[in-house]
Each structure stands twice: as structure tokens, then as C-alpha cells.
Amino acid sequence: MRIPTVLLASFACAALSAVTNAAIVQPVAVISEEYVFNSAADTINNDRMITAVNNGDSLTSALNATHEFGGIFDGSFVTTDPGGFPSDFFNSLPNDDTDVDIVLDLTGGGDASVGSIILWNYENSGGSPATAANQARTIEVRLNSEAEGAASFAGAAQTVTLLPVWDADDDPSNDLGEVNSAQAFSLGSAVSARYALLSITDNYVGLNGMTGGGDRVGFAEVRFANETVVPEPGSITLIALSLAGGSFLRIRRQPIGSLL
């Protein structure tokens, strides 16, 4: 049993009030990654983005951008399946490992102001809503300045919780309705950073009616923004309801099927 710590909720782009002068920070390189089937390089290069999101673009334009979703995976980061098929990825990691670490260089030199992260979930549909559990659920985010370097990240993590693009339950409030839209998260007060560590800590196996997949985990694209995103009135209640009912504590179930 794994008990993920959820610190930040996911805000759909329609529930956000963006700072008008906020600009997008597009990572320039992947410094390190692990359990790689398809590289995180495809999460920073607009591969299979329906609308490109580039460095310096407005936060508003990023929140309106979408990524492909269907029977493909080559525009996403996705892991190997260390436990084989079928298995639970996070119960199959070697040496008591508990997550998947990806280190990004945000600027190529010097620090940028970073207050938010924008993510698009894994592009592969799994073939059906019930077999789409490879979508990422929780990611821990840590930031370092250029002076702190990229070798280790000692600061506290902000944990963000992504909604799946689709799922197999009857609740329309806890998925994105089959549209792989932007999911934006405040990281607190803006800080100066060059490097980001993303640690994926959970997927959707055993949740939202998804019993198939989960032997891998992935997400499609990532950007950062200079300023923080702010939920509009009423959105926090909606988000709390959508994440209730067992999302915070569960026993992981073995999947019955998987597609990349």
C-alpha cells in the first residue's frame, strides 16, 4: 500500500485567473531521467502539442493549449515496465525505489522567476477508459537556482495532483472529458530557479474505475510560468469534491491489462 501526500490540487484552465504579465518558461534540456521507454525530451519540445507553447508565451495562451490524446505515446515521457505485464509500476521498482526522477534545465544559463507549473497528462488512451491507468497522478516538484546546481535538491517538494484525461467511472468532475488540456498548479511564491526536479510518485491504477494499465507511468508536456496561478472563487470547492472519495488513501490493486 502506498499513501501519496497531496499538497496541491489540480485546476482546470477554465477555473484559473492568470496574472496578465506572466510569461512561460520552456525547459531547454533534460539533464537526467530514469526508467525511460520514451524520453522526457518529448515533454519540452512541443511534440504532438496541438498548439505549441513556447518560451515567453503568455500564461493565458498556455492554459488554452491542448495535447494529442489517443493511440500514441511518442510525444510523452513514459517509463519501462520493470514488473512486466501485467504489474503495478510503483510496486515493481528495484532497490526500494518509490518514484521516477526527471531533472530539467529551465534556462540553459541563469535563473528565471518560477511560480507555477503547467502539465499535460499522458497522451496514450490505453485503448479504453478502464485501461488508461498509466496516466500520471502525483508529481513532486523541487526547484534549484543556478548556484545550487542540479546534483541534489534539498528543498521541500510541492506535490501536484493531475486529473486523468479520461477514466472509467461515472463522475464527470474528476477527469478532463477526453481533452488533454493544460493543468496548472501554483508552486507558491515565485522563486529564482534554473533547475527543476520532477518526481512522479503515482499513476491511476485502482482509481477512477481504472483497473488496466499501471505497469508504466507517463505525462505528455511540461512548462513553467513566471507568476502563480490563482483559482477563481468556487473552484476550490469543486476540486475538493472531485478529489474526495478515496483519492487520498487507497490500497493499490493489480491491473488486468495494459497498453502503452
Distance separating alpha carbons of residues 59 and 11, to the nearest angstrom: 14
pLDDT per residue over 118-156, tens digit each?
Answer: 999 999 999 999 999 999 999 999 999 999 999 999 999
Task: Say if residue 156 is exposed, middle or buried (CB neighbours under 10 Å; 0-12, 13-18, 19+).
Answer: exposed
Q: Which amino acid is at 81?
A: D
Which residue pairs from 43-47 have beta carbons closer than 8 angstroms and sit at least 24 positions apart in sequence?
Answer: 43/76, 43/77, 43/219, 43/220, 43/221, 43/222, 44/104, 44/221, 44/222, 46/221, 47/74, 47/75, 47/221
Q: In Å, how far from its chain's centre is CA 198? A: 9
Yes or no: say if 122 and 134 are a contact pair by the CB < 8 Å rule: yes
Q: pLDDT tens across 13-71, in order? A: 433 444 445 799 999 999 999 999 999 999 999 999 999 999 999 999 999 999 999 99
Residue-wise pLDDT for 225-245, tens only, equals 998 886 544 333 334 434 443
Cell 485567473 locates to 17
Distance CA(105)–CA(92), nearest Å, equals 29
- Do the beta carbons of residue 138 and residue 160 sit within 8 Å? yes
Give the whole-number percent of the chain exceeding pLDDT 90: 78
Q: Which run of H or E residues covers position 238? A: helix 235-243
> pTM for the whole thing?
0.85
Using alpha carbons, select from 18, 52, 87, 15 the residue that is nearest to residue 221.
52
Query: Cα 141 from chain centroid?
Result: 10
* End-to-end alpha carbon distance in the chain: 24
The kind and range of the H/E element at 61 are: helix 59-63
What lies within 8 Å, CB to CB, of 28 at 6+ separation is 44, 105, 106, 107, 108
CB contact at 8 A, 122 and 221: no
Q: Are 214 and 255 in contact (CB under 8 A)?
A: yes
Q: What is the pLDDT of residue 259?
A: 56
Q: How confident is the model at residue 74 (pLDDT cuts 50, 70, 90)?
A: very high
Question: Contact, 106 vs 27, CB < 8 A?
Answer: yes
In whole angstroms, how far apart are CA 243 and each of 42, 139, 207? 29, 15, 11
Quick: pLDDT tens for 89-107: 999 999 999 999 999 999 9
Domains of the chain: 11-222 (2.60.120.260)
Model confidence pLDDT, tens digit, residues 190-217: 999 999 999 999 999 999 999 999 999 9
